[in-house]
Amino acid sequence: MMQLIDGLKISRAIKAEIAEVVKELQAQNKRVPHLAAILVGNNIASATYVNGKIKSCKEVGFQSTLIQLPDTITEHELISEIHLLNNNDAIDGFIVQLPLPKHIDEKDVINNILPSKDVDGFHPVNVGKMVLDLPGFLPATPKGILELLKRYHIETDGKNVVVVGRSNIVGMPVNIMLSKKAYPGNATVTLCHSATVNLKSYTLEADIIIAATGKINLITADMVKDGVVIIDVGMNKLEDASKKRGYRLVGDVDFENVSKKASYITPVPGGVGLMTVASLLQNTLEAYKGTYYDKLIGL
């Protein structure tokens, strides 16, 4: 029997855990954690994600600040905003929502975030810490995926995991994290991408497939074995005249047909996306506590 992996239920449970901690801080008359988000331009998807992050802050009792900047902003001006947040003691952590307009170099921008406030885990220092298994901020989406595997007690030890997609946000880090000698982890991970020849030959061998490509119906039922675990990270818009908005959200996996062969599968929406936000809140709480970095020196 296929079991749905309920990202809504798990993300709510995580938020409830965080809200408890915030209540305790408030009872002690302490300041609450404060997350800031920078949103550049008017990409509707990015605005939706950032609004979800701000709304979730309110739900758990965090303070939040949304900084909206026009897409005409220069890279230099954006980096100046980042330096203000780096130096603002009232902000525990912040994110710069990606993608950025084409005239801005994402690597330059990320390099300017103070690692101790980089709750997205995108700065090279945090990526390096992740690779070397040192304490640091883990990127939110992969962290959320591991949390789902853990809370559903899904075995990963010695399993074949096929990751499809090599982005810095999902594919690359989840590949590294599931390769570690840990639970969830200790898996044999294969990272497939746009240059992979015969993707199906890999996915057919997979016990767990993590699809993060942004391509609708990339993973079809003929490409998976019976009992496969499916983690669908895709967030694609599909035209749907029956919806008020004119579209619906679908993942990278042909859910209707693949779910018939899967043992576990994440729905879209209601799966991984909500976990990204929950993980971001967890990271912000750790930033507040100063778990990974000395707050005074930022290292």
Q: Which residues bind ligand GUN (CB under 6 A)?
A: 95-98, 120, 140-141, 169, 276
97 included as an active-site residue: yes
For residue 51, CA distances in Å to 13, 38, 55 come to 20, 11, 6
φ/ψ of residue 232, rounded to 5: -105, 110
Of 6, 92, 120, 254, catalytic:
120
CA dist 267 to 33, 122, 181, Å?
31, 26, 28
Of these residues, 92, 97, 207, 252, which one is catalytic?
Answer: 97
Q: Nearer Cβ to ligand GUN, position 43 or 263?
A: 43
Q: Which residue is nearest to ligand GUN (CB)?
A: 98
6 assigned to active site: no
Considering the complex, what minimum distance in angstroms separates the CB of residue 141 from ligand GUN? 5
Q: How far is the CB of 42 from ligand GUN (least distance, A)?
A: 15
Cβ at position 25, least distance to ligand GUN in Å: 25
Which of these, 58, 47, 49, lies nearest to 19 by C-alpha position?
A: 58
Q: Which residues pair with 161 in a beta bridge?
A: 189, 208
Q: Enumerate residues 6+ apart whose C-beta is below 8 A from 51.
A: none
Query: Between 261 and 270, whose beta carbon lies closer to ligand GUN?
Result: 270
Compare residues 64 and 276 and give the one whose CB is closer to ligand GUN. Answer: 276
Check if 102 is active-site.
no
CA-CA distance, 11 to 76, in Å (whole number)? 36
> Least distance (Å) from ligand GUN to the CB of residue 205?
28
Q: Which is nearer to ligand GUN, 146 or 169 (CB)?
A: 169
Q: Nearest CA to 170 among 251, 82, 85, 71? A: 251
The set of catalytic residues is: 53, 97, 120
